Amino acid sequence: MNEESNFFRKVNSKSGFTLTETLSTLLIISLVGIMISAGIGTAIKVYCQVTKYAEAQMLLSTTMILLEDELIYAEPSTIKVSSSKDAITFCHIEDGEKTIFEKKDNGKNKGIWISYDGPNGNIVTEKLVSYEEKESIYIDWKIDDPESQTDKTMVIPINLSVVDDSEVILPIDLTIQTLKAE
């Protein structure tokens, strides 16, 4: 009962916190709020950067694998690089003539595409790498002139990079060697 009377006495009392105590509390709460919001903002920024880099790595590794899968079976004597260094035409050992090229639409890069003879003699053109339809992220590439390793193999140097809004996220130099022609 003693505790109840103390509680009611404090509630009914006209004295409260002093102005200094109230302002000190508001200042401390404000500083804690600023620190939390700054920490959250930084965490979101770092998360976005890490996610963008991880997506770039995935896109780049997938592109490297698919390019190697196609170019490793190119007949060395049929490899031709365009003068702009953004397309390569070759004769695939099993599938015939193919072209891998950088597609642009109204000056915007749309990634790396492949063109080949499909069923019934139709020419099929499709994305070499399928990725999320983000307008800003794509693979940029330049093909250097192939070098003859021997008369039966060719080495194709390719500069790949993942670009997001004209900012290179992840560049890499790739070298693909064709299989020995028989």
pLDDT at position 75, please? 87
Token digits for 160?
């790949």
DSSP letter at 74 equals B
pLDDT at position 169, please? 84
pLDDT at position 182, please? 60
- In terms of pTM, does the model score above 0.75? no
What's the gap between Cα 154 and its chain centre?
29
Token digits for 108?
């915007």
> Where are the chain's structural domains?
46-177
CA distance 155 to 178: 6
Residue 163: exposed, middle, or buried by beta-carbon count in 10 A (0-12, 13-18, 19+)? middle
Token digits for 92?
């695939």
Over its length of 182 residues, how does the chain's per-residue pLDDT go in tens digits? 566 666 676 667 667 778 898 899 999 999 999 999 999 999 999 998 898 888 888 888 888 998 998 888 888 888 899 888 889 999 988 888 999 988 877 777 777 889 988 878 788 888 887 666 665 677 888 888 888 766 678 888 998 888 887 788 888 888 888 886 66
CA distance 165 to 18: 55
